[in-house]
Structure 1
Amino acid sequence: MRIISFKPHHDGTIAVLDASSAELIYSYEAEKDSFPRFSTITPTTVLDAAGRLDAIPDVFAVGGWERTGFARHVSDAADYCGIAAGSEIVGEKTIFGTRVHFYSSTHERSHLWGAYGMSPFPAGMACYVLIWEGVLGDFYEIDERLQVVHLGKVMPGPGDKYSFLYALADPKFTLPKGRLRYEDPGKVMALCAYGQTGKPDLDEQALIDFLLPRDHITQWLSKEELRNSPYYDIGVTHQKFTTLAKRFSDAIFDSFYTFAKKNLTKGFPLLIAGGCGLNCEWNRRWVETNLFSDVFISPCTNDAGSAIGTAVDAMRHFTGNAKIKWNVYSGQPFIFDELDQTELEVHPLDYGQVVSALLDDKVIGWVQGNCEIGPRALGNRSILAAPFSKETHERLNCIKNREGFRPIAPVCLEQDVALHFDLARPSPYMLFFQKVLDSRLKAVTHVDGTARAQTVSREQNSRLFQLLTSFKAKSGVGVLCNTSLNFNGTGFINRASDLLTYARATGLDGFVINDAFYLLKTARRAA
């Protein structure tokens, strides 16, 4: 049985599962191939995804979403919220003359079953699930028989509140009520490092008390309604705002921690789902609570994994199984279209040559195989550089055309992680903060001494492992800078012609595509 699943609205994705082998075949995200970040499903995505299949799938699954405006009259898809019986729609449809099964379940369920299905824990092991994102802020329990119990709503919309905070302080934010920017939460996470921990002062506590209990914040509150706030348009790098951001972030986490400490007492593993699962500081803090036997966050914990979750839910419905095999490199294959080589020196891939270029402070694009699922570059669509200088950090942010306060992540040999960072556990998906122990790693050390490291083993990514091993042999350090290979505001670059355009425009010194190393003859640094 083949299941094809569609995620509507932002972070549009198409995923295909083979239910007979319980395996993810692929997950194609609409933003990849240099489309705008958070894109809805495009005709290109549909054609690419359909082109990988040799027959019409047995099951078409559609994730749920809010029933507003025109959509409230559509009965073919489930709603946003709901986990109980009746929150799914089951039927049949005719697709290209073939009768197929149809399945739709809520967006809430897509997060729940995506986290469970992708988690490494065996079938039959009970788990807790935390879904925290733009709308939901809830805990659940999945028992040995796959029965789901809703343990409680801690806070509505923690992700939207986090995002609203940045908008309040940003003079450039002008969107009307009901609109927030999906990219802002990551910026708040970066700015928290500049803030001071401690008890909130009166102004901070007043805003925390005003925002945290509110439901549907985007529907009832606009930035302009807080014009009298001392934080209105104060500037996102202002010390008063960065300290507010840190204490606001702590207040959100503390609300969930207090609930978990009281109500999640069985020691089960915790599965984290939703966009707030990209907050690496919060993820680290969940590990350190010692409330759970383990903590798992998938690389597509945000809505990019929602299509996979709906497919898992459909598989559970039709087969009774809700566990899948998957690989983080299950995205779109790289497209090697026409590449003008007149400005390029082309060499067979030699790890020693690439390492020499990196040690000569060159910045290199690194492309291998299929792209990663989820928003983190994990060594198949990456920009790599040596990790030793602040100048490299500044240059990478300049290449990425993003704010100077944003950190640059490291990638590290898994066996060496304890030499350089204080969290001595694998972090293959770059989803935990670590304190940096190695003072040489200036390019990847954030202002508060932390980093968001990815660890790499030979089994996980053999070519990136080999590059890191070769870099360690020459430098003594198995660590590199690793940031995503993308134009500002778009998904990963996924074709050769775009990569060359990017290299010319930003000042990349060269790039690797599979087995070839391309150096620009007249490499220039971005201004």
Structure 2
Amino acid sequence: MRIMSFKPGHDGAIAALDATAAELIYSYEAEKDSFPRYSTITPITVLDAAGRLDALPDVIAVGGWENIGRSVAAGYYGIAQGSDVVGEKTIFGRKVHFYSSTHERSHLWGSYGMSPFPVGMPCYALIWEGDLGDFYEIDERLQVVHLGKVMARPGSKYAFLYALADPKFTLPKLQLRYEDAGKLMALCAYGQTGEADRDEQALMDFLLPRDIVLYSLGKEDLCDSPYYNIGVTHQKFTNLAKRFSDAIFDSFHTFAKKNLTKGYPLLISGGCGLNCEWNRRWLETNLFSDVFIPPCSNDTGSAIGTAVDAMRHFTGKAKIKWNVYSGQPFTLDEFDRTGLEVHPLDYGQVASALLDDKVIGWVQGNCEIGPRALGNRSILAAPFSKATHERLNRIKNREGFRPIAPVCLEQDVALHFDLARPSPYMLFFQKVLDSRLEAVTHVDGTARAQTVSRDQNKRLFQLLTAFKAKSGVGVLCNTSLNFNGAGFINRASDLLAYARATGLDGFVINDAFYLLKGPPVA
């Protein structure tokens, strides 16, 4: 049985499952191939995804959604019986099964299906995102109990705070920028811990209990706030950001400490699952036997979650085999090789170039699922210099306060970072122990490391090993290969245009290493 699943709305994606083998075939995200970030599904995405299947799927699944107050398919909310839709559709003259379940369920079953815990092991689940902020329990028979709503719309409140302080934010009610939550996470590192002052407490008391943010509150409604257009790097605002972030986490932690007492593992999904500081703190609570966050914890994973839910409905199985490199294959289209030196891939040669402070695009195989570059659509650089950090943010056209993440050999991670476990999906903050790693050390002394083993990503492992042989350190800077405001670059002509426009010194595509002749753009 083949299942093809669609996620409508922003972060659009199409996933295919082989339900007989309980295995993910692919997950194609609409933003990949340099489409705008958070794109909805396009005809191109549908055609590309359909082309990977050799026959019509047996099941078409559509994740529930809500658009301007109108439900799409099964809608946004609900986990109880009746929160799915089962029927038939005729596709190109052939009847297929149709399945839809709510967006809430897509997060729940996506995190459960992708988790490494054995079948029959009960789990707790946390969904926190733009709308939902809830805990659940999934028992050994796959029965789900809603344990309670802690806070409505934690993700929207988090993004709204950044917008309030940013003079460049001028959108009206009903609109926030999806990227602002990640920026606020970076700014929290500049804030000071401690008790909230009067202004901070007043704003938190106003925002955090509100059930509705987007539909009832606009930035201009708070024009009298001392934080209105104060500037996102102002110390008064970064202090607020840190304490606001802590207050959100503390609300959920207090609930969990009281109500989640069985020691089960915790599954985390929703956009807030990309907050690496919160993820680290969940590990450190010791409330759970383990914590799992999928690399596509935000809505990019919802098509997978709906497919898992459909598989559970038709087969009774809810665990899948999957690989993080299940996205679109790279398109090696025609591009102008004028001004390029082309060499067969030699890991030692690339390592030497990196050690010589060259910045290199790195492309291998299929792209990653989820928003983090994990070594198949990456920009790599040596990790030793603050100047490299600054150059990478210029290449990325990003604010200077944004950190650059490291990628590290898994067997060496404890030498460089306060991390006692693998972190293959770059989802936890940890303290940097190695003072040489200036390019990847954030202002508060932390980093968001990805660990790499030979089995996980053989080619990136080989490059890190070669770099370690030359530098003594199996660590590199790793940031995503994308035009600003777009998904991963996924074709050779775009990569060359990007390299020439931004000043990359070269790039690797599978087995070939391309170096640009002439001085790099500063």
TM-score of the two chains, using structure 2 as the length reference? 0.99
CA distance in 2, matches of 1:307, 1:212: 30
Q: Following superposition of structure 1 onto structure 2, how do residues 442-453 of structure 1 map, counting pairs within 5 Å?
A: 442-453=438-449
Tell me the residue number matched to 2:281.
285
| Residue 325 (str. 1) matches residue 321 (str. 2) | yes
CA distance in 1, matches of 2:207, 2:518: 52
Tell me the residue number matched to 2:253.
257
CA distance in 2, matches of 1:165, 1:68: 23
Paired residue for 1:313, among 288, 309, 313? 309
Tell me the residue number matched to 1:269.
265
Tell me the residue number matched to 2:34.
34
Count of residue correspondences: 522
Tell me the residue number matched to 1:95.
91
Tell me the residue number matched to 2:48.
48
CA distance in 1, matches of 2:20, 2:85: 22
Judge conservation of contact 1:67–1:79 (CA < 8 Å) in 2. Answer: no
Deviation at 1:67, TM superposition (A): 5.2
CA distance in 2, matches of 1:352, 1:220: 57
Cα-to-partner distance string for 1:314-347 (whole Å, 9 max, x where unaligned): 0000000000000000000000000211110000
Judge conservation of contact 1:419–1:437 (CA < 8 Å) in 2. Answer: yes
Structure 2 unaligned regions, length at least 5: none
User: Which one-letter code corresponds to 2:163 in the other structure?
Assistant: A
Tell me the residue number matched to 2:362.
366
User: Which one-letter code corresponds to 1:14 in the other structure?
Assistant: I
Deviation at 1:524, TM superposition (A): 1.6
User: Which one-letter code corresponds to 1:27 in the other structure?
Assistant: S
Judge conservation of contact 1:103–1:314 (CA < 8 Å) in 2. Answer: yes
Tell me the residue number matched to 1:138.
134
CA distance in 2, matches of 1:223, 1:196: 25
Tell me the residue number matched to 2:419.
423
Cα-to-partner distance string for 1:413-433 (whole Å, 9 max, x where unaligned): 000000000012100000000
Judge conservation of contact 1:504–1:523 (CA < 8 Å) in 2. Answer: no
Cα-to-partner distance string for 1:337-386 (whole Å, 9 max, x where unaligned): 00211110000000010011001100000000000000000000000000
Judge conservation of contact 1:12–1:38 (CA < 8 Å) in 2. Answer: yes
Cα-to-partner distance string for 1:233-282 (whole Å, 9 max, x where unaligned): 00000000000000000000000000000000000000000000000000
| Residue 461 (str. 1) matches residue 457 (str. 2) | yes
Q: Secondary structure at the match of 2:303?
A: helix
Structure 1 unaligned regions, length at least 5: none
CA distance in 2, matches of 1:381, 1:280: 21
Tell me the residue number matched to 2:63.
63
Q: Secondary structure at the match of 1:101?
A: strand
Q: Following superposition of structure 1 onto structure 2, how do residues 378-389 of structure 1 map, counting pairs within 5 Å?
A: 378-389=374-385
Cα-to-partner distance string for 1:171-195 (whole Å, 9 max, x where unaligned): 0000000100000000000000000
Judge conservation of contact 1:399–1:507 (CA < 8 Å) in 2. Answer: yes
| Residue 232 (str. 1) matches residue 219 (str. 2) | no
CA distance in 2, matches of 1:2, 1:178: 38
Q: Which runs of 4+ in 1 moved over 6 A?
A: none
Deviation at 1:523, TM superposition (A): 4.2
User: Which one-letter code corresponds to 1:17 in the other structure?
Assistant: L
Judge conservation of contact 1:345–1:519 (CA < 8 Å) in 2. Answer: yes
Cα-to-partner distance string for 1:486-510 (whole Å, 9 max, x where unaligned): 0000000000000000000000000
Tell me the residue number matched to 2:520.
524
Deviation at 1:525, TM superposition (A): 2.0
CA distance in 2, matches of 1:501, 1:43: 25
Judge conservation of contact 1:16–1:24 (CA < 8 Å) in 2. Answer: yes
Judge conservation of contact 1:508–1:523 (CA < 8 Å) in 2. Answer: no
Paired residue for 1:120, among 116, 133, 137? 116
Identity across matched positions, percent? 86
| Residue 157 (str. 1) matches residue 160 (str. 2) | no
Deviation at 1:66, TM superposition (A): 1.4
CA distance in 1, matches of 2:101, 2:339: 51
Tell me the residue number matched to 1:181.
177
Paired residue for 1:393, among 389, 393, 404? 389
CA distance in 1, matches of 2:268, 2:186: 20
Tell me the residue number matched to 1:375.
371
Q: Give the direction of change, closer, same or farther, for the CA distance of 1:404–1:67 in structure 2 (3 Å limit).
A: closer
Tell me the residue number matched to 2:163.
167
Q: Secondary structure at the match of 2:393?
A: helix
Tell me the residue number matched to 1:6.
6
RMSD after superposition? 0.7
Q: Following superposition of structure 1 onto structure 2, how do residues 459-498 of structure 1 map, counting pairs within 5 Å?
A: 459-498=455-494
TM-score of the two chains, using structure 1 as the length reference? 0.98
CA distance in 1, matches of 2:366, 2:510: 10
